[in-house]
Amino acid sequence: MIQKKTIINEEWRYHIALKNKYYIHMKTRFLFLIVLISSYCFSQSVNDYKAVLIPLKFDFTKTDNQYRLATLSKFNLNKAGFQAYYDNEQLPKENNDRCSLLYFDVVKEKSFLTTKVYITFKDCDKKIIFKSDIGISKEKDYQLAYTEALNKAFVSVYALQYKFNDARTSNSIAVPAPDVSNVSKGIVEVSPMSEPVKQAETAQKTIVDNSNLLYAQPTATGFQLIDSTPKVMMKVYNTSRKDSFIATKGNTQGVLIAIGNQWFFEYYLNDKLISEKINVKF
């Protein structure tokens, strides 16, 4: 009798174990399906939003536009095809519906000897619509480190190939391209992206023509640009893009970017954006 009871108990335990295993298997498959669908929706739903709002201050920064993160974010977002606005700017009437907007954020991860950041887009309910890959920099200078890490994080944003899918928006705002047709004549004034000031005033970009030919010598992190002396005039550091470098010229920090077939060193001087034409041979 005892032996029979033992056999029944063992069969019952086996049945329960088999049933639990089945439930765990089904639960795992269901969760995997949810994650797969969510990931697909994240990459697709960005196109459902008209524009992006950028905060001037992120959680890990102490002041507005520290390390030029807000400026760099707006520049990259516009270049990626988004309508990007600082959160203190007056929005066009077509964007008055706050739930038609994406909310941009840069998040810093804790790390030792490296700077790690990633980008998120959230909806008006603070749900994450998109999260970028982590951008990493080993630069010791904070300005250089955050610039490089953020540019690397933006690679994921560019990969989205954003295009607003609402056919009603036929008059969407286009990002004006700098007019450099008269740059050879000297200094010209153009209207680029706005610098985030409290009144959200539109900044002016001054393009300076520097005709001195520089030669690029490879370094471990990028290039050094020398003149015919030879004297090191600039140092540029690689980013994830071949047409964009982090750059230093003396004590001035900025970016070296390609516009068409010409290189420009862009930096801020007294809150005014300067774009210096650089004649460089790589």
Burial classification of residue 143, based on how many CB atoms lie within 10 Å of its CB (0-12 exposed, 13-18 middle, 19 or more buried): middle
Task: Kindly report, residue by residue over 196-254, the tens digit of the pLDDT.
Answer: 444 443 445 676 666 688 888 888 888 999 888 888 999 988 887 888 888 888 888 88
- Give a yes or no: residue 266 inside a domain: yes
- Give a yes or no: residue 78 inside a domain: yes
- Give a yes or no: residue 168 inside a domain: no
Instruction: Give the residue numbers spanning the domain of 245.
Output: 183-281
* Shared-domain flag, residues 107 and 149: yes
Contact 106, 117 (CB under 8 A): yes
More confident residue, 73 or 188: 73
More confident residue, 21 or 142: 142
Q: Is the peptide bond before 55 cis (omega within 30 degrees of 0)?
A: no
Listed range (185-194, 199-208, 271-280) with the worst mean pLDDT: 185-194
* Shared-domain flag, residues 153 and 219: no
Task: Please tell me the predicted confidence (pLDDT) of residue 184.
Answer: 38
Listed range (18-22, 112-116, 255-259) with the worst mean pLDDT: 18-22
* Shared-domain flag, residues 57 and 115: yes
More confident residue, 28 or 83: 83
- Give a yes or no: residue 259 inside a domain: yes
Task: Please tell me the predicted confidence (pLDDT) of residue 91.
Answer: 86
Task: Please tell me the predicted confidence (pLDDT) of residue 3.
Answer: 53
pTM above the 0.75 mark?
no
Q: How confident is the model at residue 136 (pLDDT cuts 50, 70, 90)?
A: very high
* Shared-domain flag, residues 55 and 134: yes
Total domains, the chain: 2
- Give a yes or no: residue 17 inside a domain: no
Q: How confident is the model at residue 281 (pLDDT cuts 50, 70, 90)?
A: confident
Task: Please tell me the predicted confidence (pLDDT) of residue 64.
Answer: 92
* Shared-domain flag, residues 71 and 118: yes
* Shared-domain flag, residues 153 and 191: no
Listed range (83-92, 176-185, 238-247) with the worst mean pLDDT: 176-185
More confident residue, 243 or 9: 243
Task: Please tell me the predicted confidence (pLDDT) of residue 266.
Answer: 87
Is 50 exceeded by the pLDDT of residue 101?
A: yes
State the average pLDDT for the chain.
77
Task: Kindly report, residue by residue over 76-86, the tens digit of the pLDDT.
Answer: 998 889 999 99
Give the domain-ending residue among 112, 127, 159: 159
Which two three-digit tokens encode residue 40?
């697909």
Is 80 exceeded by the pLDDT of residue 133?
A: yes
CB atoms within 10 A of CB 114: 12
DSSP per position, the chain? -HHHHHHHHHHHHHHHHHHHHHHHHHHHHHHHHHHHHHHHHHHHHGGG-SEEEE-SS-TT-SSTTGGGHHHHHHHHHHHTT-EEEETTSPPPGGG--GGGEEEEEEEEEP-SSSEEEEEEEE-TT--EEEEPPPEEE--SSHHHHHHHHHHHHHHHHHHT------TT-TTPPPPPPP--TTGGGS-EEE--SPP--TT-PPP-EEEEEEEEEEEEEE-SSEEEEE-SS--EEEEEEE-SSTTEEEEEETTEEEEEEEETTEEEEEEEETTEEEEEEEEEE-
> From CA 116, how far away is CA 146, in angstroms rounded?
8
Phi, psi of 226 (to 5 degrees): -115, 155
* Shared-domain flag, residues 214 and 276: yes
